[in-house]
């Protein structure tokens, strides 16, 4: 598809790919995956369309790459936040307080990820979304098991089930935040759902 055109800006291939993913996340968040075009993306990135197709065979392949990158970034973010934690209970507190869907750097990619709901008839997109959440679940379950083994967290339920519950709560909170619902996740006295989860999992009465 015209791959002989010069790459405007002459960025190294990997940096150009990341730049295209960055611009795509912003564009898809604004316009929606279905409505956004590669022509709009090329304008936003400052390159010609053939440059996009040099890195991605199609808009669909770019979308899948964006989902995969979002998962990698989330895991890296969590691992960075856990560095230096004093014990497994503190690690859980940090994880509970870090919802990537409401961070400045995570807001656009996760808004794009939610748009995949309308694309789940596509087997490859469905697989990418599933892999994303299975990997996040495995990471959370491992942290929860460690906390349970050290008697720092509730043991009434399996780490696998608790990990899914944390993902369900986090997604719900993130969606309502994206919809602009004010004061969601808190009561009239200012208590927050994060406090509730912390108390349930690692409060004084954790088994």
Residue 197 near residue 165, CB atoms below 8 Å: no
- For residue 138, what pLDDT band results from cuts at 50, 70 and 90? very high
The CA-based diameter of the chain, rounded to the nearest angstrom, is 65
pLDDT of residue 146: 93
Measured between alpha carbons, how far is residue 199 from residues 152, 157, 159 in Å?
12, 15, 16
How many angstroms separate the CA atoms of 38 and 45, rounded? 10
Res. 118: pLDDT tops 80: no
Separation CA 170–CA 61 (nearest Å)? 27
**Which are the contacts of 121, defined by CB distance < 8 A and separation ≥ 6?**
none
Under DSSP, the state recorded for 116 is G
Question: What kind and span of H or E run contains 123?
Answer: helix 123-149
148 pLDDT exceeds 50?
Answer: yes
User: What is the pLDDT averaged over residues 175-198?
Assistant: 88
What is the pLDDT at residue 13? 84
Tens-place pLDDT, residues 36-78: 899 999 999 889 999 999 999 998 999 899 888 888 888 888 8
Per-residue pLDDT at 65: 92
How many angstroms separate the CA atoms of 88 and 109, rounded?
29
**Looking at the DSSP assignment, which residues form a beta bridge with residue 186?**
192
H or E segment to which residue 23 belongs: helix 13-31
2 has pLDDT over 80: no
Percent of the chain at pLDDT > 90 equals 36
Q: What is the pTM of this model?
A: 0.82
Q: How far apart are CA 197 and CA 92, in angstroms?
A: 10
Helix, strand or coil, per DSSP, at residue 146:
helix
Domains of the chain plus CATH, in order, are 1-57 (1.10.10.60), 67-202 (1.10.357.10)
Distance from first CA to last CA of the chain, Å, rounded? Answer: 61
In the predicted structure, residue 181 carries a pLDDT above the cut 50: yes
Q: Bigger pLDDT: 109 or 73? A: 73
pLDDT category of residue 196 using cuts at 50, 70 and 90: very high
The percent of residues above 70 in pLDDT, for the chain, comes to 92
């Amino acid at each position: 598809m015209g791959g002989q055109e010069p790459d405007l800006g002459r960025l190294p291939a990997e940096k150009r790919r990341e730049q295209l993913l960055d611009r795509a996340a912003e564009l898809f968040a604004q316009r929606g995956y279905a409505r956004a075009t590669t022509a709009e993306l090329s304008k936003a990135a400052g390159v010609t369309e053939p440059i996009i197709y040099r890195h991605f065979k199609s808009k669909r392949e770019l979308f899948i790459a964006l989902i995969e990158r979002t998962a990698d970034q989330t895991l890296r973010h969590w691992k960075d936040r856990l560095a230096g934690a004093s014990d497994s209970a503190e690690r859980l507190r940090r994880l509970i307080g870090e919802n990537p869907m409401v961070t400045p750097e995570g807001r656009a990619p996760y808004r794009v990820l939610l748009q995949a709901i309308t694309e789940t008839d596509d087997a490859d997109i469905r697989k990418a979304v599933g892999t994303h959440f299975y990997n996040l679940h495995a990471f959370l379950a491992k942290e929860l098991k460690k906390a349970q083994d050290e008697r720092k967290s509730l043991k009434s339920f399996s780490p696998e089930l608790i990990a899914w519950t944390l993902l369900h709560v986090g997604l719900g909170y993130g969606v309502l935040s994206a919809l602009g619902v004010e004061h969601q996740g808190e009561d009239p006295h200012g208590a927050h759902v994060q406090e509730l989860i912390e108390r349930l999992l690692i409060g004084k009465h954790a088994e």
